[in-house]
Chain A
Amino acid sequence: MNSASILFNGKARAVATAKSVWRDWLRLDAPVMTYVAKVLLAEIMALWLSLRFEFDQPRTAMMTVAIVMQSRAGMVFSKSLYRFLGTLVGVVVSFVLVSLFAQEPILFLLCMAAWIGFCTAGSMVFRNNHAYGFVLAGYTLCIVGLPAVASPSQTFNIGTTRISEILIGLLSASLISDVVFPARLWDVLRDAVRHRFQDFSSMLREALGTEAGSGATRPALTRFMGDILNLETFRASASLENDPSRLRRLRLGQLNSGFLAVATSYHALERLLYRQQRNGRLEVAAALKTCYTPMGDALVVEGRSARNELEARKITSNIKLYAEALPGHLASARNRLQNRLDATAQLDFETGAELLTRFVDELKTYLSIYTALNRPVATDRKVAGQALSLRMHFDPLAVALSGLRGALSLGLLATVWIITGWPSGVEAITLGVVTSTLFATSPSPTHTIRHFIIGVIIATGMASAFDFYVLPQVHGFAMLCMALVPWLVICAWMTTLPSLAIIGTSTFINFLSQVGLTSAYSTDPVLFSNNAIADLLAIALSGVMYALIDLSNSRWSHRRIAKALRRLMVTACREPLIPSRYRLEGDALDLVQRLGSLQRKVSAQEKEAVDWLLSTLEIGHAIIELRKQMKELTDVALLARLNDCLDRIARLHETPTVVNHDNAVQAIASILHAMEDIPAAMALPHATRHQLNTMLHFIHDALLDEESVLYVSTPLIAEEGSNAA
Chain B
Amino acid sequence: MPRELAVLDALVPTLMFAFLAAVAIILALDMAMVRFGLYQYVWYPALFRLAIFVCVFSSLGLWVY
Among A156, A182, A247, A377, contact of B46 (Cβ-Cβ < 8 Å): A182
Q: State the CA gap A175–B37 with chains docked (Å).
A: 23
Q: State the CA gap A175–B53 with chains docked (Å).
A: 12
Report whether over half of chain B's contact residues are helix, strand or loop; otherwise say mixed. Answer: helix
Interface string of A222-258 (1 = CB under 8 A from B): 0000000000000000000011001100000000000
Q: Which residue of B lies closest to A178 (CB)?
A: B46
B50 near A179 with CB under 8 A, answer: yes
B10 near A156 with CB under 8 A, answer: yes
A156-B10, A247-B34 known; A242 and B50 CB under 8 Å?
A: no
A175-B50, A179-B50 known; A242 and B34 CB under 8 Å?
A: yes
Q: What is the minimal beta-carbon distance from A553 to any residue of chain B, in angstroms?
A: 42
Among A156, A243, A247, contact of B45 (Cβ-Cβ < 8 Å): A243
In the bound complex, residues from chain A placing their C-beta under 8 Å from that of B49 are: 178, 242
A175-B50, A179-B46, A179-B50 known; A242 and B10 CB under 8 Å?
A: no
Q: What is the minimal beta-carbon distance from A201 to any residue of chain B, in angstroms?
A: 32
Interface residue ranges of A172-186 to B (CB < 8 Å): 175, 178-179, 182
Interface string of B33-65 (1 = CB under 8 A from A): 010010100000111011000000000000000
Judge whether B30 is part of the interface by a CB distance below 8 angstroms.
Answer: yes
B45 near A242 with CB under 8 A, answer: yes
Q: State the CA gap A179–B34 with chains docked (Å).
A: 18
Interface residue ranges of A105-158 to B (CB < 8 Å): 156
Q: Which residue of B lies closest to A247 (CB)?
A: B34
Q: Which residue of B lies closest to A376 (CB)?
A: B37
Interface residue ranges of B1-55 to A (CB < 8 Å): 10, 30, 34, 37, 39, 45-47, 49-50
Q: State the CA gap A223–B39 with chains docked (Å).
A: 37
Q: What is the minimal beta-carbon distance from B36 to any residue of chain A, in angstroms?
A: 11
B50 near A178 with CB under 8 A, answer: yes
Tally inter-chain residue pairs, CB-CB below 8 A.
Answer: 20
Among A156, A175, A246, contact of B34 (Cβ-Cβ < 8 Å): A246
In the bound complex, residues from chain A placing their C-beta under 8 Å from that of B45 are: 242-243
Q: What is the minimal beta-carbon distance from A74 to any residue of chain B, in angstroms?
A: 12
Q: State the CA gap A243–B30 with chains docked (Å).
A: 11
In the bound complex, residues from chain A placing their C-beta under 8 Å from that of B37 are: 377
Q: State the CA gap A295–B36 with chains docked (Å).
A: 41
In the bound complex, residues from chain B placing their C-beta under 8 Å from that of A156 are: 10
In the bound complex, residues from chain A placing their C-beta under 8 Å from that of B34 are: 242, 246-247
Q: Which residue of B lies closest to A73 (CB)?
A: B46
Q: Which residue of B lies closest to A179 (CB)?
A: B46
B10 near A179 with CB under 8 A, answer: no
Q: State the CA gap A178–B53 with chains docked (Å).
A: 13
A179 near B30 with CB under 8 A, answer: no
Q: State the CA gap A243–B50 with chains docked (Å).
A: 15
B47 near A242 with CB under 8 A, answer: no
Q: Which residue of B lies closest to A160 (CB)?
A: B10
Q: Which residue of B lies closest to A184 (CB)?
A: B46
In the bound complex, residues from chain A placing their C-beta under 8 Å from that of B30 are: 242
Q: Which residue of A lies closest to B10 (CB)?
A: A156
Q: State the CA gap A189–B18 with chains docked (Å).
A: 36
Q: Which residue of B lies closest to A243 (CB)?
A: B45
Q: What is the minimal beta-carbon distance from B46 to any residue of chain A, in angstroms?
A: 5
Q: Which residue of B lies closest to A377 (CB)?
A: B37
Q: State the CA gap A175–B34 with chains docked (Å).
A: 19
In the bound complex, residues from chain B placing their C-beta under 8 Å from that of A377 are: 37
Q: State the CA gap A518–B39 with chains docked (Å).
A: 42
Interface residue ranges of A654-674 to B (CB < 8 Å): none
Interface residue ranges of A371-395 to B (CB < 8 Å): 377
In the bound complex, residues from chain B placing their C-beta under 8 Å from that of A246 are: 34
In the bound complex, residues from chain B placing their C-beta under 8 Å from that of A182 are: 46
A–B Cβ pairs within 8 angstroms, 20 of them: A156-B10, A175-B50, A178-B46, A178-B49, A178-B50, A179-B46, A179-B47, A179-B50, A182-B46, A242-B30, A242-B34, A242-B39, A242-B45, A242-B46, A242-B49, A243-B39, A243-B45, A246-B34, A247-B34, A377-B37
Interface residues of A (CB under 8 A from B): 156, 175, 178-179, 182, 242-243, 246-247, 377
Interface residues of B (CB under 8 A from A): 10, 30, 34, 37, 39, 45-47, 49-50
In addition to A178-B46, A242-B49, 18 A-B residue pairs with Cβ atoms within 8 Å of each other are A156-B10, A175-B50, A178-B49, A178-B50, A179-B46, A179-B47, A179-B50, A182-B46, A242-B30, A242-B34, A242-B39, A242-B45, A242-B46, A243-B39, A243-B45, A246-B34, A247-B34, A377-B37
What are the 3 A-B residue pairs with the smallest beta carbon separation, nearest first? A178-B46, A179-B46, A182-B46
